[in-house]
Amino acid sequence: SQQGEEDPQALSIQEGENATMNCSYKTSINNLQWYRQNSGRGLVHLILIRSNEREKHSGRLRVTLDTSKKSSSLLITASRAADTASYFCATGNTGNQFYFGTGTSLTVIP
Amino acid sequence: AAGVIQSPRHLIKEKRETATLKCYPIPRHDTVYWYQQGPGQDPQFLISFYEKMQSDKGSIPDRFSAQQFSDYHSELNMSSLELGDSALYFCASSKLGTQGDEQYFGPGTRLTVT
């Protein structure tokens, strides 16, 4: 990947559990975005966190950003079977470029 | 609310043919991005345009070219198609602020090269 690495690459949990995915990046950023993608489908924007923010919430999603460690995490609480998808982080820098991480494949078992 | 529109949604071409993909950004968005996502791969940034000018270039092959028109729609032209060009091509748009802004993605065009 040109920028981000995500871990784990695959995650399998039971419905109702929390899922945490991590993203690390290499260069300085202006913002970081998390996306979801169901198999073979389009990308769905979940949340954007700017470089001067440390934490952001949206519904069952919680995103943190640690610019000193160049890392971000996405927490999905009370997971549902419908959350099964691939999750990508993408970083935006001073140019008009956004680079995606390798993605975490999440499976939520009913 | 209006979303990013891409056409066609599916396209089948033969090797060495050309293809043109179109993207219509959300109204008043000034920036368009193109991405390529191969099977089982993460999306790769190809190219972006801001106010009708190319602003950044990623891993776009020389066989591909793109432009943004006066109405802000963008076209990705792909020539001498190869089997490896089979992928999902996403377009995204944003209203660029000083720190960048949310990207809104279109549904993608699935290109199959046979």
Q: Measure Cα distances from A100 to A23, B52, B63 in Å.
A: 10, 24, 23
Q: Residue A94 — very low, low, confident or very high, per pLDDT cuts 50/70/90? A: low
What are the structure tokens assigned to B96, written together?
């660029």
Segment (H or E) for B88: strand B87-94
**B18: distance to nearest CA of chain A, Å?**
24
Query: Is residue A49 helix, strand or coil?
Result: strand
Task: Judge contact between A54 and A72, C-beta under 8 A.
Answer: no
* pLDDT over 60 at B82, yes or no: yes
- Quote the mean pLDDT of chain B: 89
* pLDDT over 50 at B21, yes or no: yes
Q: Return d(Cα B71, Cα A6) in angstroms, integer.
A: 37
- Label the pairing between strands B74-78 and B19-24: antiparallel
**B99: distance to nearest CA of chain A, Å?**
5
Q: Residue B97 — very low, low, confident or very high, per pLDDT cuts 50/70/90? A: low
> CA nearest B45: which of A37, A92, A70?
A92
Q: Return d(Cα B62, Cα B87) in angstroms, integer.
A: 17
Mean pLDDT for B70-94 is 95
Q: Residue B45, class by beta-carbon neighbours within 10 Å (0-12 exposed, 13-18 middle, 19+ buried)?
A: buried
Q: Which residues of B touch A105 (CB under 8 A)?
A: none
The answer to whether the CB atoms of B42 and A98 lie below 8 A apart is no
- What pLDDT digit, counting tens, does each position of B38-50 carry? 888 888 889 989 8
Per-residue confidence (pLDDT) for residue B99, from 0 to 100: 42
Mean pLDDT for A39-45 is 80
Task: Judge contact between B105 and B91, C-beta under 8 A.
Answer: yes
* pLDDT over 70 at A7, yes or no: yes
Q: Which residues of B touch A99 (CB under 8 A)?
A: 45, 58
φ/ψ region of A64 (left if φ > 0, alpha if ψ in -120 to 50, else beta) reads beta
* pLDDT over 90 at B96, yes or no: no
* pLDDT over 60 at B86, yes or no: yes
- Quote the mean pLDDT of chain A: 87
Alpha carbon A32 to chain centroid distance? 9
Q: Return d(Cα A104, Cα A106) in angstroms, integer.
A: 6
Question: Within a 10 A sphere around the Cβ of A86, how many other Cβ atoms?
Answer: 21
37-96 of B, contacting A, C-beta below 8 A: 42-45, 48-50, 55-56, 58-59, 88, 90, 92, 96
Per-residue confidence (pLDDT) for residue B98, from 0 to 100: 40
State which residue of chain A sits closest to B56, comparing Cα positions: A96
Interface contact A2, partner B, CB < 8 A: yes
Q: Mean pLDDT highest for which of A18-22, A50-54, B54-58?
A: A18-22
Helix, strand, coil share of chain B (percent; to 5): 5, 50, 45
- What pLDDT digit, counting tens, does each position of B22-32 carry? 999 999 888 89
